[in-house]
Each structure stands twice: as C-alpha cells, then as structure tokens.
Amino acid sequence: MTDALSEGAFPVYAVAPAEVEVEDDVMGSTGELSSAPISENADDISFNVGGITLSTTVVLEAPEDLSPSENEVLVNAVDGTYHLDAGSNIEGTVNYVALDYESAIDALVDEEGDILDFIGILSENADTSDYLHGVVKDMESKGDFAIAIAGASPYLDDVFSYENPFDSSRIQVQYPMRNGDGRSMIGSYIGLRAGLGMSASPMKKRLSGQETLYHSLSREEMEALSEQRVNPIKSERAGALVMDDMTTVSVENNEEFEMQQGIARLVTDYVAVITNENADVFIGELHTQSARNALRGNIKSELKDLLSLNAITGYTVEVEPISAMEARVNVGVETIKPLRNIRATVTAGQVE
C-alpha cells in the first residue's frame, strides 16, 4: 500500500490473505507442497525429517537447481517446491502457513469491485494469477471493469523458454516483479499505473524507490519477453524502468486486437461506463427521435472531453430504434497509440 500511495494512486485498497496452517508428508529430497503460495517467512515453515528439524531457507529460484547445505531445506514459497538434504532418511512431515489469496481477492471485489481499476497480487503463483484473471473477467460481465496485474514468475532461469498462458486484454503480466531484496514491486507498478490514469502510458516511466531488480534482463531477454506479451522491467542506475504497457492479447486475437495496450483497455472501459450511465438516464423516457438525439448528444459531449484530453483520437455515436420500446446505442472510438520509439540523429558540422 505504501508503494502504491508513493506513486500517486488514491484511494488504495488491500486485503491480507488469510493464513492457513497445513501439514504435508515429506517422501523425498525434492517435492511440492500441496497448498501454495505459502508464507515467505522461513519461521512459518518447519520440516522434520528423520527426527531432525531442518533449517529452512526461502528462495525465489527453482530449489531443485540449487544445492542445500547439510540439514537444510530450500523452499520456493511461490510454487511450493522444495529441495532438502537430510542424509539417507528422507521421510517426515512439514508444517507451514499457506496464504489464501483466492478468498482475499473475493473479499476485495465484494467490497470495492465497482470502483477498482487495477487489481494485483504479491505472489507470482500461476494458479492465483489465473484465478485473478477469471475474477476480472466475471466482473466485466457484470459491468465492473478492472485490469489484473500479475508477475510472470519470481525468477525465470531461462527467459527464452517462457510461454505466456494468457491471451486477454484483462490481464497484464510483468517481469521481473521483485526488487534486489526479493520484495514484490507490484504495489509500485499499480500505483504508477493508477496515478497516470488515462493521461499517459506507463511506458518508459520509472518505479520510484525501486533502484535494483532481482533479475537484470539483457536486451535479448527483454525482446523475448515482449514477444510473449510480457512487459519487461529494466534495471538502471536511475531506477527500475517500465519498458511497455502490453496486455496479453495475441496477434491472433481478432476480438481484442485493438486493446493490445493497457491504456487502450482502460480508455475503452471508461467509454463503456459513460455510455451506460448516460443511457440509463433515458430509461422510462418516451421512445422518440428527440429523446434519441438527446442521448446521442450527451454521449458525444463526454467523448469530446476525452478527445480534448488526447485519450481518444476519434469517435462515432449512433442511437437507433430496434422496436417500439427498445433502442440501440453504438459507440466506436479510436484509442490513442503510445509513441513507442524516437529515432534521434545527431550530425557534427551541419548547422542550418
């Protein structure tokens, strides 16, 4: 919440996931806990194997690719995988605290779903991200519009093999979403995005207070992520730099092709809201040409304001009768396309 407020977002709502105590059996030196994501506090995770209580270290990488010390267990709290060293006796139990993100998301949406613009989660757990996407899609069907923000992974050992599981304008995926201390930057990103609103894209904007990243991406890695509709975060001395504003819409997604950018999704949602609000006022009015003209004029007035703010570059509004008691409103908008590149040429000795 502090990170989001620092970036200019207001108001900010947050729900802490409920902590659930779980006990699992341990049957091998590597495995996966049944209820991830779990607490990232090592004190909340206790492995007892062969009568020995192991020392727990929470990691963001894949534990099976790392080597635990004697009587140590490495645990990835995001996906619940672990790797332990306990000699030849590798049977035992583990007690840990699981985090119920799904109930937290439901509580947030139940309380404030009608006013939320962006919803993010601190964990990059794949199932939790998928659940959040399903929730915002359900909100859309009810006329409440929000964009989900998720991290691709706590750490990608091989960026080039990553495949984005989403193809939707309702979710944006970022990487990396951890700073140099391993702490989530989701609050900073959502704060930046919400603070900008429809006035600008977060492209090439910095996350204040986030000076180092857990994974510093090469140019080739950033290009590979962009091809998978993941927004790369670049590590620079001046601070973490957001490189793009993509949703996860693919080039084959004809239905949502115009909303490949987050700002286009946001503007389109706003237009839908003002169209519905203006139309609702005319429910109960006589179905006349003058009433339809008045509705069309009201919507056009709202769209002219968006045009003056450069949020859209053009629009069309049609209000037509369907039957003696029903009318149809058709609104089309041309959303703004963020400037993606500037080619600068500096030549010595040529002054005009």
pLDDT score of 343: 66
The residues that bridge with 232 in the sheet, in sequence order, are 175
Query: What pLDDT was estimated at residue 281?
Result: 87
| Residue-wise pLDDT tens digits, 46-66 | 999 988 999 999 999 999 999
Residue 327 has a pLDDT of 85
User: Residue 314: how many CA atoms within 13 Å on its side-chain side?
Assistant: 3
CA nearest 176: which of 230, 127, 132? 230
Q: Can you give the pTM of this predicted structure?
A: 0.89
**Residue ranges in the chain modelled with pLDDT below 50:** none
Q: What is the CA radius of gyration of the chain?
A: 24
Task: Determine the pLDDT at residue 323.
Answer: 87
pLDDT of residue 345: 64
pLDDT at 84: 94
pLDDT digits (tens, 9 = 90+) for 211-246: 899 999 999 999 999 999 999 999 988 889 999 999
Q: Are 196 and 118 in contact (CB under 8 A)?
A: no
Count of other CB atoms within 10 angstroms of residue 279: 17
Tokens of 120: 């993010």
pLDDT value, residue 298: 92
> Strands 171-175 and 230-234, how do they pair?
parallel
Cis omega before residue 321 (within 30°)? Answer: no
> Side chain identity at 256, as an amino acid letter?
E
Tell me, what's the pLDDT at 253? 94
State percent of the chain over pLDDT 70: 95
DSSP 42: G
Longest dimension (CA), the chain: 85
